[in-house]
Chains A and B, each alone.
Chain A
Amino acid sequence: MNEKAKNKQVINFTIDGRPVQAEPGWTVLETARQYGFHIPTLCYHEAVSPSGACRLCVVEAREGKWSKVVISCMYPPYEGVEILTDSPRVQNVRKWILELLLAECPASKEIRELAAEYGVHSTRFEIKNPTEQCVLCGLCVRVCDEIVGVRALSFGSRGTSKRVTTPYMVPSEACVACGCCVAVCPTGAMKSRLDQVRGDLAERIGHAHG
């Protein structure tokens, strides 16, 4: 393929007014990071497929009068679209998510720091569990499935009672204790849970040898 044909395939658009080029298949987030734009994320990790759960990476896509808030981690850019990473609509979404997260997982230092970065220092919402750290981003579940391939972790229940757990909520025989879930966790929640996932290690080894 000559240089000209290759150029034809790239997608030209703008991020915060600056012209950028995306390779085919890139998302807005990938393009933005390539050019050094900062967009916060919690549930995104290069190693696994995106899920679109945390919504912190929202950006505003504009085309003439049309405008829509989309998630940059999955939105495919197209020729001519204007992306705004910090418009008032985007700020409104981000600010509220962070304030809600301060109530949901108050024990996470990472969340407090991220919130502070966006000017959110306190929450008006009810704190149900002061020790909670998990934001249910699902990175641990995805890494265990897509990278490790053992599926020792899954989501249990639904809605406001949703949680990260093991199948049937008993320590998982499938867990190989590789620690990928701990490494990928954005809030440190997995660290304190690993023992629940793999169960009592001594007992497991005992079983294996007995």
Chain B
Amino acid sequence: MMPRVENAEELRVWREELVKARDPNQPIVRVCLGPGCLAQGADKVAQAFKQTIKEKKLAVEVRPLVKETGCHGFCKIGPLVNLAPSGLFYARVKPEDVESILDLSVVKGEVIERLLYSENGTQYKTAAEIPFYKMQQKIAMRNLGIIDPLDFEDVVAAGAYQAAAKALTEMTPEEVIAEVERSGLRGRGGAGFPTGRKWRTAANALARRPGPAYIVCNGDEGDPGAFMDRAIMEGDPHSVLEGLIIGAYAIGAHEGFIYVRTEYPIAVKNLRTAIKQARELGLLGKNILGTGFDFDLQINRGAGAFVCGESTALFTSIEGKPGEPRPKYIRSAEEGLWGRPTVLNNVETLANLPGIIQNGGEWYAGIGAKGNSGTKAFSLVGKVKNVGLVEVPMGVPLSRIVEEIGGGVPGKDRFKAVQTGGPSGGCIPYELKDTSVDYDSLTKAGSMMGSGGMIVMDDRDCVVDVARYFLRFLEDESCGKCLPCRLGLKGMLEFLDRFAKGKGKIEDIDELENLAQAVKDGSLCALGGSAPNPVLTTIKYFRDEYEAHIKEKKCPAGVCKDLITYRIDPDACTGCGVCAKNCPQECITGEKKKPHVIDESLCIRCGMCLDSCRFEAVKVE
């Protein structure tokens, strides 16, 4: 058990001792255990490192240290391994590579070329040189991939809780709020409300009505394809706790909650460990750092309802009631949990706070764009080469994220559209690729920042199909309380389903737009209020594609099953028979080495033949 630190000075001294006690000669092997790498077997790689180091006599002075870190970002080429002090960066590492990495790279300092990442003919030895990393700037995710989140000494040595100590001992709550206001930090959960202003509203409300106040962390990240908050909660949970301590002190809350979706078991586990560690050290609980300030935290797990990420639904869920939103004509900062002043901050927002307190609000305001200060984390997924987690200064053009960091669409020279802001965000077309990625510009383009999901689409994605996909998700996740959302989304889907079948009239597109506007205007909470965005933006930017479905009964992207036929080009077909073997309907026939034919009456348009043909002989029309 750790000793309790009685004051800020003891914490500072302990950190210095921890840093000093580090052996500069000890090699460090960092294995990324982020969501992407873990799915690709990184846990087995880490285990192999530990086992081999334990069993094998390595010709080194000090035994290497294996750190199981949080997400390093470049999920596409995981599992990732970083070596210190050499800085060597290995991609797609398998357990069987471990021995040679230790023998060659750790002991002898040699480079194993086959494990290096290469792009466009260039091999990269270290992560810092790779374009994917080069253009990023990490503040919220500063420790991800570097520290071992469960090793408290490693966390403290990295500087955890120094900002909280500074806030609690050198600043008044008013000064903390003023510093956050100066930073211009806006809520990273999606809406972009200024964090400092939210805190001030809550502090003022508490001054008017003394009693309990609460601070809540929103870790109910539910957008399909988004995993920024998950990565932070798993890879650096103490930064979330530190943000909560700073916020609690600023507004005068003594009780806090972290609302995490139960689908994130590692995040829950790591947060629990972090809370236990912080309590033992005296950074949570009574009389924190001898300042007389009391604050403690508990974890609430969400039961899988997307709507519980909405602030008022999240509150009713914590209160033990069904997770349904209520109208917000009075701000939650004034009347939130149990009718008391409550601040709800997103995971990423909280992770930004320690840096702001340490370096000052002006430092933070100097990063990013005007009115959109700081950096933002994005999960880059879909038809993009470098799938992963990135953090960039606000205000960079969309094309830089998708094409330079993301490497563009594999095998194609341009993307078709990017869905930002999750399922209720909007589709931004290639023509607007220079859009500045900040709260205001994305909203102006009809989309939104949202929590930071970015789904890249290419010309094989049909906008009608995409709109249907997101709408179906939201219809499924509607709580059902208000009519425009519960019935309106269903109604919008009926329109889209007709389009996908080539039915419907051309004036239905306008009618769908009107219905979408009614759902937007009439819905109770932001789920319904933003659900029509994918429909409205795809109609705005790709109206011709909607018209093609209705007028020509054609799906230009070749996706909507009722509007396409598969045909084999006799000139290109070599008669290899692979498509026939793969066809689940057994409706492809032909003699060996002669052009094959698809029986359209039996074809279910699954696309297996298209995927399996190596001669591009299968055509979609």
Contact of A159 with B488 at beta-carbon distance under 8 Å, contacts A97-B518, A125-B494, A126-B494 already known? no
Residues from 82 to 107 in A contacting B, C-beta threshold 8 Å: 89, 92-93, 95-97, 100-101, 103-104
| Contact between A55 and B479, CB atoms less than 8 A apart | no
For A54, the closest partner residue in chain B by CB is B483
| Contact between B478 and A100, CB atoms less than 8 A apart | no
Nearest CB in chain B: distance from A69 CB, A: 4
Nearest CB in chain A: distance from B311 CB, A: 15
| Contact between A58 and B521, CB atoms less than 8 A apart | yes
Complex interface: stretch among B102-110, B263-271, B321-329: B321-329
| Contact between B480 and A159, CB atoms less than 8 A apart | yes
| Contact between A160 and B486, CB atoms less than 8 A apart | yes
- Pick from A56, A74, A135: contact of B327, CB under 8 Å: A74
Q: CB-CB < 8 A to B518: which residues of A? A: 92-93, 95-97
| Contact between A159 and B514, CB atoms less than 8 A apart | no
**B299 interface residue per 8 A CB criterion:** no
Q: CB-CB < 8 A to A104: which residues of B? A: 487
Nearest CB in chain B: distance from A178 CB, A: 24
| Contact between B480 and A55, CB atoms less than 8 A apart | no
Q: CB-CB < 8 A to A58: which residues of B? A: 521-522
**B582 interface residue per 8 A CB criterion:** no
Interface residues on A, range: 35 or more
Residue among A55, A92, A135, A162 having the largest count of chain B Cβ atoms under 10 Å: A55
**A6 interface residue per 8 A CB criterion:** no
Q: CB-CB < 8 A to B330: which residues of A? A: 76
User: Quick one: CB contact mask for A92-128 with B, threshold 8 Å, 1 for yes?
Assistant: 1101110011011000000000000000000011100
| Contact between B475 and A93, CB atoms less than 8 A apart | no
Q: CB-CB < 8 A to B476: which residues of A? A: 159-160
Q: CB-CB < 8 A to A95: which residues of B? A: 518
Q: CB-CB < 8 A to A53: which residues of B? A: 481-483, 524
Distance of A101 Cα from B494 Cα, bound (Å)? 15
For A50, the closest partner residue in chain B by CB is B327
For A68, the closest partner residue in chain B by CB is B521
Residue among A53, A92, A101, A159 having the largest count of chain B Cβ atoms under 10 Å: A159
| Contact between B478 and A54, CB atoms less than 8 A apart | no
Total inter-chain residue pairs, C-beta < 8 Å: 102
User: Quick one: CB contact mask for B287-306 with A, threshold 8 Å, 1 for yes?
Assistant: 00000000000000000010
Nearest CB in chain A: distance from B42 CB, A: 36
| Contact between B522 and A162, CB atoms less than 8 A apart | no
Distance of A69 Cα from B326 Cα, bound (Å)? 16
Nearest CB in chain A: distance from B497 CB, A: 10
Nearest CB in chain A: distance from B544 CB, A: 24
| Contact between A97 and B480, CB atoms less than 8 A apart | no
**A48 interface residue per 8 A CB criterion:** no
Residue among A76, A96, A97, A135 having the largest count of chain B Cβ atoms under 10 Å: A96
Q: CB-CB < 8 A to A10: which residues of B? A: none
| Contact between B475 and A96, CB atoms less than 8 A apart | no
- Pick from A69, A75, A100, A159: contact of B483, CB under 8 Å: A100
| Contact between A89 and B521, CB atoms less than 8 A apart | yes
- Pick from B486, B488, B491, B522: contact of A69, CB under 8 Å: B522
Residues from 150 to 198 in A contacting B, C-beta threshold 8 Å: 155, 157-162
Residues from 120 to 145 in A contacting B, C-beta threshold 8 Å: 124-126, 135-136, 138
Q: CB-CB < 8 A to A71: which residues of B? A: 327, 524
User: Quick one: CB contact mask for B118-145 with A, threshold 8 Å, 1 for yes?
Assistant: 0000000000000000000000000000
For B525, the closest partner residue in chain A by CB is A52
Q: CB-CB < 8 A to A148: which residues of B? A: none
Nearest CB in chain B: distance from A29 CB, A: 13
- Pick from B305, B329, B515: contact of A96, CB under 8 Å: B515
User: Quick one: CB contact mask for B317-352 with A, threshold 8 Å, 1 for yes?
Assistant: 000001000110110000000000000000000000
| Contact between A92 and B475, CB atoms less than 8 A apart | no
Distance of A56 Cα from B522 Cα, bound (Å)? 9
Contact of A75 with B524 at beta-carbon distance under 8 Å, contacts A92-B518, A93-B518, A97-B518 already known? no
- Pick from A55, A135, A157, A158: contact of B522, CB under 8 Å: A55
Contact of A96 with B327 at beta-carbon distance under 8 Å, contacts A55-B523, A58-B521, A159-B479 already known? no
| Contact between A159 and B478, CB atoms less than 8 A apart | yes
User: Quick one: CB contact mask for B507-520 with A, threshold 8 Å, 1 for yes?
Assistant: 00000001101110
| Contact between A92 and B521, CB atoms less than 8 A apart | yes
Distance of A58 Cα from B517 Cα, bound (Å)? 14
Nearest CB in chain A: distance from B144 CB, A: 34
Q: CB-CB < 8 A to A20: which residues of B? A: none
| Contact between B479 and A96, CB atoms less than 8 A apart | no
Distance of A51 Cα from B481 Cα, bound (Å)? 9
**B484 interface residue per 8 A CB criterion:** yes
Nearest CB in chain B: distance from A168 CB, A: 15
**B477 interface residue per 8 A CB criterion:** yes
| Contact between A155 and B322, CB atoms less than 8 A apart | yes
| Contact between A55 and B483, CB atoms less than 8 A apart | yes
Distance of A108 Cα from B487 Cα, bound (Å)? 16
Q: What are 21 A-B pairs at a CB distance below 8 A?
A: A52-B327, A52-B524, A53-B483, A54-B483, A55-B482, A74-B327, A74-B329, A89-B521, A92-B518, A96-B484, A96-B515, A97-B483, A97-B487, A100-B487, A101-B487, A104-B487, A125-B491, A135-B483, A155-B322, A159-B478, A160-B480
New A-B contacts (17) at CB < 8 Å, excluding given A89-B521, A97-B483: A51-B481, A52-B326, A52-B482, A55-B483, A58-B521, A69-B522, A70-B329, A74-B327, A96-B514, A100-B488, A100-B490, A101-B487, A104-B487, A138-B481, A158-B322, A159-B486, A160-B486
Contacts from A to B (Cβ < 8 Å): 51-56, 58, 69-71, 74-76, 89, 92-93, 95-97, 100-101, 103-104, 124-126, 135-136, 138, 155, 157-162
Closest 8 CB pairs of A and B: A162-B480, A100-B487, A69-B521, A96-B518, A93-B522, A159-B480, A159-B478, A93-B518
